Amino acid sequence: MQVEKFYYDNKTVKMFAYATILWGVVGMLAGLLIAVQIYLPAANFGLPITTFGRVRPVHTNAVIFAFVGNGIFMGVYYSLQRLCKARMFSDTLSKIHFWGWQLIIVAAAVTLLAGYTTGKEYAELEWPVDIAITLIWVVFGINMFGTILKRRESHLYVAIWFFIATWVTVAMLHIVNSFEIPFSMLKSYSWYAGVQDALVQWWYGHNAVAFFLTTPYLGVMYYFLPKAANRPVYSYRLSIIHFWALIFIYIWAGPHHLLYTALPDWAQSLGTVFSIMLIAPSWGGMLNGLFTLRGAWDKVREDPILKFMVVAITCYGMSTFEGPLLSLKNVNAISHFTDWTIAHVHVGALGWNGFLTFGVLYWIIPKIFNTPLYSKKLATTHFWIGTIGIVLYAIPMYWAGFTQAMMWKQFTDDGTLKFQFLETVTHIIPLYVTRSIGGLLYLVGVFIMVYNIVKTVKAGSLVANEEAEAPALSKEVKTHGKEYWHRWIEARPIQMLVFSLVAVAIGGILEIVPTFLVKSNIPTIAAVKPYTPLELQGRDIYVREGCYLCHSQMVRPFRDEVARYGEYSKAGEFVYDHPFQWGSKRTGPDLARIGGKYPDSWHYNHMLEPQSMSPGSIMPSYSWLLDDPIDTAITPAKIRAMQTLGVPYPEGYDKVANADLMSQANLIRINLKLDKINTTANKEIIALIAYLQRVGTDIKSQAKPLAEK
């Protein structure tokens, strides 16, 4: 058989590796900043672009899509070529993919800091960026499938299956969750509203964790762990089961983010059941990884790369054990809306994604620069500092979450709530401080890595095109014994793609379709009316400033929550909420029943200086809202967009909306004047007050259902 000579493209791998490091540092710096802001409000610097609500999405998006995203591409571009014994399909597509993705990251950072956000966690990017992501993702797909199709290896190793499933599922999730109606060059409203929006968002959000942070990294694990340990994976059979079970089950688990909310009960239960089932494949994968090192633990003692990988896989095991526990309703009742969730995700992000990335970087850079790592000792130091950092991060957050949840739920003997919300926050501030020290240590470790890698790169020279040889793939597929059906799929990437899509689409369709179609699932409430133009403007300011990142709008049907906030939230209250703003974390109190709770002047002063109204509050100041004018020029476009989405404003209302807006604003201005606050009616603060005073008030005019009995 003819042996062909070809070259692996290491240059693109190098670029993705550099980008991984660069964005990792940026994303973690943003994380450190917001960690400090939580106990030091002055660190918000009084500027819109440095305030928590805008920096937090930059942190999450940078870490997920920039740091881990580039890490995925680095891992795929390195391993796929070698597993397929072929150069990447097209150098041009590789270039477009690399630069396109970096451009998207820059555009994302700029627009998020400028306040352009969809208000849906981890999907905050606005419509032009969404379209760009879709295009670049397609480029990546063509490049990947092109490579697979021209491969010189008949078998598709299991890592490639994980890459294929990642590609197809992320494409599906991104497209379905990003349906939105643009009303300006950079802003849009979510196509879905309220409960539907929440379900689609968390179906997306959960599966972004599954198919962006997990499956591609499992592919990376199945390639680089055998490489680093120089032995095949413990059980290849188990890896096949791991793959199919994981992608089949993961897609159903999203509703566990919405337990005890206004989401229909059957959907919540479905999410719980599948979340519990997830333990099996996740732990199968973890054990497969750890057992690969059976009899090689002496190597782990010597080799920092294996150390990183072992802790990464252990963290994968811990967070995938914890995930199902958090999906049990009784555990979720305590953990949800607290820092417990933050601890959970950081065990995954810092441990699993971070440490696996570092392990792979330490492995790849010396390989493609054809030189040994500058200092094994520094890498080991990085490992230990990083590990201590993770511990110092996670433990205080578990503690904080549990403590705060317990405090929320405590009653006095007289049957009143024992603690004010603010007391539960100030109580855990020392834990917030410790967390930021943990984060800082982790970042110090990364800087040590940067130094080590710079030194390594300087000592070697890039093998941009690495020579390799392999026989061409013969047309006949080699068979071993009987030709079983799985053999048939596993050598056929396109069929693999289709089967993966079917596996993940079944779950999505079955969960989402009934919520959209069955009327009884979303009982409408007659008293719930569309927002007035001023309230709509105010709501958009609420979204722009990222208020939902610290304040939920979802009172769960618990005694303590009803006592603290008021009537629990109903599905029908949110039918005009494009997007929904239920939130996922209560750094501040829930706002679902904030309307009418305080006078207008309280909100005015509170936005100027929160501590003047609530001494000890950790909320940043939003003083610019007092000066900036409402953008009334955009009101008609907003009304028209809402009409397109089915919000029942009267025909032609867009033309008169601003008149209504001004008369409502004037009422608030007069109201403020009575409390000796002089301002003009066209300020953003007026719109925000109008919105806050409206939230959760519609059903108050409704007769209580109990009275019917």
Partner 1 sequence: MNGELGKADSLFTTHAKTTIMKFINYLEKITGVDIYALSSFSIFFVFFMLMLLWVWKADKKMIDEISRIPLEN
Identity of the residue, 406 or 513, whose beta carbon is nearer to partner 1 in the bound complex: 513
Residue 367: HSE in the Cβ half-sphere, 13 Å Cα cutoff: 19
Cα distances (Å, whole numbers) of residue 167 to 140, 217, 254: 9, 12, 19
Shortest Cβ 379–partner 1 spacing (Å):
22
Shortest Cβ 709–partner 1 spacing (Å):
9
Task: Please tell me whether residue 248 binds partner 1 under the rule CB under 8 A.
Answer: yes
Burial 333-360 (b: 16+ CB within 10 A, else e): bbbbbbbbbbbbbbbbbbbbbbbbbbbb
**One residue of 318, 328, 429, 468 binding partner 1 per CB under 8 A:** 468
Task: Please tell me whether residue 186 binds partner 1 under the rule CB under 8 A.
Answer: no
Task: Give the whole-angstrom CA distance, residue 424 versus residue 401.
Answer: 10
Identity of the residue, 242 or 586, whose beta carbon is nearer to partner 1 in the bound complex: 242
Nearest to 21 by CA among 77, 82, 61, 74: 74
The residues pairing with 188 across neighbouring beta strands, listed in sequence order, are: 182
End-to-end CA distance of the chain: 84
Task: Give the whole-angstrom CA distance, residue 28 versus residue 39.
Answer: 18
Task: Please tell me whether residue 520 binds partner 1 under the rule CB under 8 A.
Answer: yes
> Does residue 232 have a cis bond before it (omega within 30 degrees)?
no
**One residue of 46, 372, 616, 646 binding partner 1 per CB under 8 A:** 646
Rounded CA Rg of the chain: 26
Shortest Cβ 263–partner 1 spacing (Å):
12
Shortest Cβ 378–partner 1 spacing (Å):
27
Task: Give the whole-angstrom CA distance, residue 37 versus residue 34.
Answer: 5
**One residue of 185, 232, 298, 413 binding partner 1 per CB under 8 A:** 232
Task: Please tell me whether residue 519 binds partner 1 under the rule CB under 8 A.
Answer: yes
Identity of the residue, 28 or 220, whose beta carbon is nearer to partner 1 in the bound complex: 220
Per-residue mark of binding to partner 1, 568-607 (x: CB under 8 A)? --x-x--x--------------------------------
Shortest Cβ 26–partner 1 spacing (Å):
31
Identity of the residue, 241 or 464, whose beta carbon is nearer to partner 1 in the bound complex: 241
Q: Which amino acid is at 79?
A: S
Task: Please tell me whether residue 128 binds partner 1 under the rule CB under 8 A.
Answer: no
Query: With CB under 8 A as the contact rule, which of the stretches 27-35, 507-515, 579-587, 681-689 interacts with partner 1?
Result: 507-515
Task: Please tell me whether residue 83 binds partner 1 under the rule CB under 8 A.
Answer: yes
Shortest Cβ 48–partner 1 spacing (Å):
32
Cα distances (Å, whole numbers) of residue 582 to 526, 537, 586: 21, 18, 10
Nearest to 38 by CA among 434, 403, 604, 344: 434
Identity of the residue, 18 or 244, whose beta carbon is nearer to partner 1 in the bound complex: 244
Identity of the residue, 185 or 703, whose beta carbon is nearer to partner 1 in the bound complex: 703
- The rounded Cα 38 to chain-centroid distance in angstroms is 20
Q: Which two tokens stand for residue 30?
A: 């943003």
Task: Please tell me whether residue 182 binds partner 1 under the rule CB under 8 A.
Answer: no
Q: Which amino acid is at 32?
A: L
**One residue of 233, 448, 453, 661 binding partner 1 per CB under 8 A:** 233
Shortest Cβ 299–partner 1 spacing (Å):
15
Burial (CB < 10 A; 0-12, 13-18, 19+), residue 381, is: middle
Considering only residues 135 through 154, tell me which ones interact with partner 1, judged by CB under 8 A: 153
Task: Give the whole-angstrom CA distance, residue 598 versus residue 551.
Answer: 16
What's the DSSP call for residue 263? S
Task: Please tell me whether residue 523 binds partner 1 under the rule CB under 8 A.
Answer: yes
Number of residues that bind partner 1 (CB under 8 A): 63
Identity of the residue, 285 or 438, whose beta carbon is nearer to partner 1 in the bound complex: 285
Q: Which two tokens stand for residue 354?
A: 């971070």
Nearest to 160 by CA among 234, 92, 243: 243
Residues 6+ apart with CB under 8 A from 61: 108, 109, 112, 122, 124, 125
**One residue of 136, 193, 313, 695 binding partner 1 per CB under 8 A:** 193
Shortest Cβ 87–partner 1 spacing (Å):
13
Helix 236-250 / helix 493-517 crossing angle, nearest 10 deg: 30
Query: With CB under 8 A as the contact rule, which of the stretches 70-78, 484-492, 559-567, 620-628 interacts with partner 1?
Result: 484-492
Task: Please tell me whether residue 237 binds partner 1 under the rule CB under 8 A.
Answer: yes
Identity of the residue, 245 or 662, whose beta carbon is nearer to partner 1 in the bound complex: 245
Say whether 314 sits in a helix, a strand or coil.
helix
Residues 6+ apart with CB under 8 A from 497: 145, 164, 167, 168
Shortest Cβ 657–partner 1 spacing (Å):
18
Task: Please tell me whether residue 294 binds partner 1 under the rule CB under 8 A.
Answer: no
Query: With CB under 8 A as the contact rule, which of the stretches 308-316, 434-442, 518-526, 599-607 interacts with partner 1?
Result: 518-526
Cα distances (Å, whole numbers) of residue 222 to 171, 216, 258, 284, 695: 23, 10, 33, 13, 49
Query: With CB under 8 A as the contact rule, which of the stretches 476-484, 592-600, 619-627, 659-667 interacts with partner 1?
Result: 476-484
In this structure, the chain runs to a length of: 709
Nearest to 662 by CA among 685, 642, 686, 679: 686
Task: Please tell me whether residue 241 binds partner 1 under the rule CB under 8 A.
Answer: yes
Per-residue mark of binding to partner 1, 676-705 (x: CB under 8 A)? --------------------------x--x
Q: Which residues bind partner 1 (CB under 8 A)?
A: 79, 82-83, 85, 153, 155, 157-159, 191, 193, 196, 222-223, 226-227, 230-233, 236-237, 240-241, 244-245, 248, 264, 468, 480-481, 484-487, 503, 506-507, 510, 514, 516-521, 523-526, 528-529, 570, 572, 575, 644-648, 702, 705, 708
